[in-house]
Chains A and B, each alone.
Chain A
């Protein structure tokens, strides 16, 4: 903790104020409006029930599958292990709509799996409805859960497993004495985080869910807004969603380190004599292979189906890609500015960090509804669609960016802050010579995440959309809706390339400049 105030704190306070206004004002508008709105109808309660149910199942299945997978990864060393762990980070920056395209190509009506089932004369799978929603959520969150739980395994000192081996503990004893106590600490956190994430599911429910039996609250807000233009009902639903997500986020913060699953997990696994049997090895290998196939197949499907259509994409798709790139770059700039200002001030005022975490509880459609309610009396909200998207994307990426930057900044200030103070390194000089060279890798990684998240975001823009300001994810959604499968696949591949490309550029930029 630096004792001397060596960098100005006012930018952090400005950022904090901006954040506080943006997090509260639309909410206040929603709640105020909801007070005069309609009482919840049976369909609204059904949406609440479905939202909670699908989130519970998604989180439960993700964690239940992640435990054996993380265990297999924790005790096996194999060629491509680091690559697989890297791949497990990919769903985080994978645009939701692209994943849905891939999942439909693999698990959909005419998908790969059903073709195999048909040749074997087995019954067909259905991807729409509750199990489709759960499937997509597991696709996104199984890797996150696996990485979180794997970190739990890796946090167990290697001496523990050596001690167990030297005391002759079998597998069940190792589980009881070492693994179960660890899981009891880690698994509830993973469950709570994934539960909270799945509550705000919009794009997945929009494509794979829908209908009275598979509508989430976010989707219900969208429908009340777009189809019925029932602002009172949209506000009432947004109020329920707000309370639900706030509660779940509080639980997730209470039980789990929120962004734990992002990095790490590359170390060599310790020698585990109790797990050396060939059958167990085979079992672990099969598990790891299945998970790799589950994660890779949809991505491969997107590439295979999209590549032929890529060059023949219609002009509106290219235009949407340009819009999306501009939005992503603007959101990244805003996010990084906010994150840096907040991080410097949060060195001394830890409360600011909590404010930024508020972004996790942000529901894009609630904010969108709020902004619409605020702006509508004065101006045409459609004109504000892109700026609002930029700010929402920046604020949603902020908790992740801050979690990457702040610990590193604390570390630098703790180890070298006093030396820098004694040398009179203040203000710009401190930024230039002390912080920038050492923070660059973290900044690059954070900017890459923010850019990729914004590039693939399909939330608030869906509320205000008009053909002139469509983003690329929205274009993909429209092509899917119009059953233009080939063009959708091509546009999906373009979106995938943009998201991963942005991440790669920023991340590499940060590391390259540091070297």
Chain B
């Protein structure tokens, strides 16, 4: 259970408050206008953004004063999720242990993770030799190896085309369901939220609203969300 207890973040004249609880294995989308603080909220959970006040708890243990690596959290950013000068196998290996030397058993785990995301046998390649979709898959494979119970996605698939993005979302759905991973995803696209996340939170006007059902929220949007989504296309 991930709990954001009266969380408040102040950056200059920007403030964001959040107060909600997410059960283990639930999948939550953060939706809302640019600059509303979606990424800031993820950064706070991952440990890159100190809280002004409030607490973040995982299974009733406070997280918010722990360093990023000690949190039960893995995160994928919009880009720069792989080190360009390392091979895929080395990049993935960093998810197991922060070193570049790995035992034969660990090597097998790396190969298995690559296979799981459809990149079997590509461990010796470098990120530059891969397509955008393959890079996303490799980053997801590393998340698998990290075995953290919470996964944060900060629009890592935003640069992919619609079909490829849908593929990636389905892959995320499979992987997180298999491992009972709790997911929080930032997105601009309501259809992405609908595809992957049963729960949805509107982040707008300095406030992260409590999670509600994604379909209901998007079908009957409150005023702030309606302003962001615009009028729906005629059927």
Interface residues in chain A, defined as those with a beta carbon under 8 Å from any beta carbon in chain B: 157, 159-160, 162-170, 173, 176-178, 181, 271, 273, 276
**In the assembled complex, which residues on chain B have CB atoms less than 8 Å from the CB atom of A159?**
77-81
Question: In the bound complex, how far is the Cα of B147 from the Cα of A168, in angstroms?
Answer: 13
**In the assembled complex, which residues on chain A have CB atoms less than 8 Å from the CB atom of B127?**
none
Contact B46 A162 (CB under 8 A): yes
A165-B47 contact in complex given A170-B98, A173-B99, A273-B67, C-beta closer than 8 Å: yes
Contact A273 B47 (CB under 8 A): yes
28 cross-chain CB contacts under 8 A: A159-B77, A159-B78, A159-B80, A159-B81, A160-B83, A162-B68, A164-B98, A165-B48, A165-B68, A165-B69, A166-B46, A166-B47, A166-B71, A166-B73, A167-B69, A167-B98, A167-B146, A168-B69, A168-B98, A169-B69, A169-B98, A173-B99, A177-B83, A177-B86, A178-B83, A273-B47, A273-B69, A276-B67
Question: In the bound complex, how far is the Cα of B146 from the Cα of A95, in angstroms?
Answer: 56
A77 to chain B, nearest CB (A): 12
The answer to the question of B173 belonging to the interface, with a C-beta cut-off of 8 Å to chain A, is no
A173-B98 contact in complex given A162-B48, A165-B68, A273-B47, C-beta closer than 8 Å: yes
- Chain A, interface SS category: helix
Which residue of chain A has the shortest Cβ distance to B154 in the bound complex? A159
Question: In the bound complex, how far is the Cα of B71 from the Cα of A163, in angstroms?
Answer: 13
**In the assembled complex, which residues on chain B have CB atoms less than 8 Å from the CB atom of A168?**
69-70, 98
Question: In the bound complex, how far is the Cα of B80 from the Cα of A162, in angstroms?
Answer: 10
A157-B98 contact in complex given A166-B68, A167-B69, A271-B48, C-beta closer than 8 Å: no
Question: In the bound complex, how far is the Cα of B83 from the Cα of A353, in angstroms?
Answer: 34
**In the assembled complex, which residues on chain B have CB atoms less than 8 Å from the CB atom of A178?**
83
Residues of B30-69 at the interface with A, using a CB-CB cut-off of 8 Å, are 43, 46-49, 67-69
**In the assembled complex, which residues on chain A have CB atoms less than 8 Å from the CB atom of B85?**
181
Question: In the bound complex, how far is the Cα of B101 from the Cα of A176, in angstroms?
Answer: 13
Contact A162 B77 (CB under 8 A): yes
The total of interchain contacts (Cβ-Cβ below 8 angstroms) comes to 61
The answer to the question of B75 belonging to the interface, with a C-beta cut-off of 8 Å to chain A, is yes
Question: In the bound complex, how far is the Cα of B49 from the Cα of A266, in angstroms?
Answer: 20
Question: In the bound complex, how far is the Cα of B143 from the Cα of A163, in angstroms?
Answer: 11
The answer to the question of B74 belonging to the interface, with a C-beta cut-off of 8 Å to chain A, is yes
Which residue of chain A has the shortest Cβ distance to B86 in the bound complex? A177
**In the assembled complex, which residues on chain B have CB atoms less than 8 Å from the CB atom of A165?**
47-48, 67-69
9 shortest interchain CB distances as A-B pairs: A168-B69, A159-B80, A165-B68, A169-B98, A159-B77, A157-B80, A166-B68, A273-B67, A173-B98
Question: In the bound complex, how far is the Cα of B83 from the Cα of A177, in angstroms?
Answer: 8
**In the assembled complex, which residues on chain B have CB atoms less than 8 Å from the CB atom of A177?**
83, 86, 94, 100
Q: Which of A157, A159, A163, A276 has the most CB of B within 10 A?
A: A163
The answer to the question of B25 belonging to the interface, with a C-beta cut-off of 8 Å to chain A, is no
Contact A167 B95 (CB under 8 A): yes
Contact B81 A163 (CB under 8 A): yes
B192 to chain A, nearest CB (A): 21
**In the assembled complex, which residues on chain A have CB atoms less than 8 Å from the CB atom of B78?**
159
**In the assembled complex, which residues on chain B have CB atoms less than 8 Å from the CB atom of A181?**
85
B40 to chain A, nearest CB (A): 13
Which residue of chain A has the shortest Cβ distance to B78 in the bound complex? A159
**In the assembled complex, which residues on chain A have CB atoms less than 8 Å from the CB atom of B74?**
166
Contact A163 B69 (CB under 8 A): no
B128 to chain A, nearest CB (A): 14
A269 to chain B, nearest CB (A): 13
**In the assembled complex, which residues on chain B have CB atoms less than 8 Å from the CB atom of A167?**
69, 94-95, 98, 146
Contact B47 A160 (CB under 8 A): no
Question: In the bound complex, how far is the Cα of B97 from the Cα of A177, in angstroms?
Answer: 13
**In the assembled complex, which residues on chain B have CB atoms less than 8 Å from the CB atom of A157?**
79-80
Contact A176 B75 (CB under 8 A): no
**In the assembled complex, which residues on chain A have CB atoms less than 8 Å from the CB atom of B71?**
166
Question: In the bound complex, how far is the Cα of B68 from the Cα of A177, in angstroms?
Answer: 18
Question: Pick the contact of A160 from B67, B70, B80, B146 — CB < 8 Å?
Answer: B80
Contact A163 B80 (CB under 8 A): yes
Question: In the bound complex, how far is the Cα of B75 from the Cα of A178, in angstroms?
Answer: 18
A164 to chain B, nearest CB (A): 8
Which residue of chain B has the shortest Cβ distance to A166 in the bound complex? B68
* Seed contacts A157-B80, A159-B79, A177-B83; 20 additional CB < 8 Å A-B pairs: A157-B79, A159-B80, A162-B43, A162-B48, A162-B68, A162-B75, A163-B77, A164-B98, A165-B68, A165-B69, A166-B47, A166-B75, A167-B69, A167-B146, A168-B98, A169-B94, A178-B83, A181-B85, A273-B67, A273-B69
